[in-house]
């Protein structure tokens, strides 16, 4: 079995950036991705704050370009799911559903997933009116009413996107003001198709074959009411996809990986990049920077290990 210099787990912006830098440094590199490359960024209709694109760029387009660039430098991409990591004396073995991969270093770029609402009806109607991706499913709700749960950037961005299809978009937010950036707030409040439900939570999702209504609760008065909608889009934050390394490296209380400024984790030879890290800002631009740093740090680690063994 051949051994890789670097194995990247996760094909979002951080993973692809790490792949570009590691492959360009002539390191034998493989990226493992269980789905389509691009991560959450690939499901974002428009990215307006990535430097170099004055008019913005579509998330899928940006990720496709990163993917092509990485492959152009020789990055190998395997479509598989990493199930576990075994630590050996001088390297690691990653067990996937497509076989084993031996590697000298690992860059974890598994990212984060949308948090679930955790309410009755959510699981039952997932894929039948409940969604976590407006870009993926928005077109199914042409001329219908939908609800967006959340008040941050992602929630407001996706609510604005949904107004292209839906006749009305209800933003349900547990606070009395949005957390999104001011420019997004202004756009949302100026859009006639968006209706706000302040200080409210969704208590239940119900319907027959598909979603028909939600139960709203006013957290100030405690009163409840039903709201007829055909779709529910949840954007209440994300959770780290760190189960793979739980018990192997140090995580914070929320499950995010703790690293230093060079993306090194508590385990020598394992690095982390992107949304999986404990960090202030989770954006494409910071994920790309993390990936580049992690790849260079892995390269330095390999050089030091090689010098140590040659002594």
Task: Give me the active site residues, please.
Answer: 133, 136-137
**Gap between the Cα atoms of 45 and 57, Å rounded:** 8
**Gap between the Cα atoms of 221 and 217, Å rounded:** 8
**Gap between the Cα atoms of 242 and 273, Å rounded:** 12
- From residue 122, how far is each of 141, 172, 206 by CA, in Å? 18, 15, 9
Among 249, 256, 247, which residue's Cα sits nearest to residue 278? 256
- 14: tokens are 């951080």
CA within 13 Å, CB half, 23: 22
Among 137, 214, 203, which residue's Cα sits nearest to residue 170? 214
**Gap between the Cα atoms of 24 and 46, Å rounded:** 28
Torsion of CA 299, 304, 306, 311, to 10 degrees: 170
Q: Identify whether the C-beta of residue 106 lies closer than 8 Å to the C-beta of residue 94.
A: yes
* Residue 133, Cβ density class (10 Å: 0-12 exposed, 13-18 middle, ≥19 buried): middle
Torsion of CA 246, 6, 65, 181, to 10 degrees: 40
**Gap between the Cα atoms of 311 and 308, Å rounded:** 6
What are the φ and ψ backbone dihedral angles of 191, each rounded to 5 degrees?
Answer: -85, 120
């Amino acid at each position: 079995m051949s051994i890789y210099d670097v194995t990247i787990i996760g094909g979002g912006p951080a993973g692809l950036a790490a792949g570009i830098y590691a492959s360009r440094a002539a390191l034998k590199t493989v990226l493992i991705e269980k789905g389509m490359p691009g991560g959450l960024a690939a499901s974002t209709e428009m990215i307006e704050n990535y430097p170099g694109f004055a008019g913005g760029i579509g998330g899928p387009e940006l990720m496709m370009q990163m993917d092509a660039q990485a492959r152009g430098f020789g990055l190998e991409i395997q479509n598989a799911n990493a199930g576990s990591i075994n630590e050996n004396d001088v390297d690691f073995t990653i067990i996937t559903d497509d076989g084993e991969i031996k590697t000298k270093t690992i860059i974890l770029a598994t990212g984060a997933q949308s948090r679930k609402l955790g309410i009755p009806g959510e699981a039952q109607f997932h894929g039948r009116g409940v969604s976590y991706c407006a870009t993926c499913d928005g077109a199914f709700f042409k001329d219908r009413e939908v609800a967006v749960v959340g008040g941050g950037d992602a929630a407001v961005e996706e609510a604005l996107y949904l107004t292209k299809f839906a006749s009305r978009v209800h933003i349900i937010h547990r606070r009395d003001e949005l957390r999104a950036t001011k420019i997004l707030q202004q756009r949302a409040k100026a859009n006639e198709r968006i209706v706000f439900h302040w200080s409210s939570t969704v208590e239940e999702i119900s319907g027959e074959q598909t979603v028909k209504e939600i139960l709203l609760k006013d957290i100030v008065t405690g009163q409840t009411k039903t709201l007829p909608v055909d779709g529910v889009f949840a954007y209440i934050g994300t959770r780290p996809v760190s189960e793979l390394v739980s018990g192997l490296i140090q995580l914070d209380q929320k499950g995010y990986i703790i690293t230093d400024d060079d993306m090194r984790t508590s385990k020598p030879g394992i690095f982390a990049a992107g949304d999986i890290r404990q960090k202030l800002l989770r954006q494409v631009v910071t994920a790309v920077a993390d990936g580049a740093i992690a790849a260079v740090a892995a390269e330095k680690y390999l050089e030091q290990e090689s010098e140590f063994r040659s002594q």
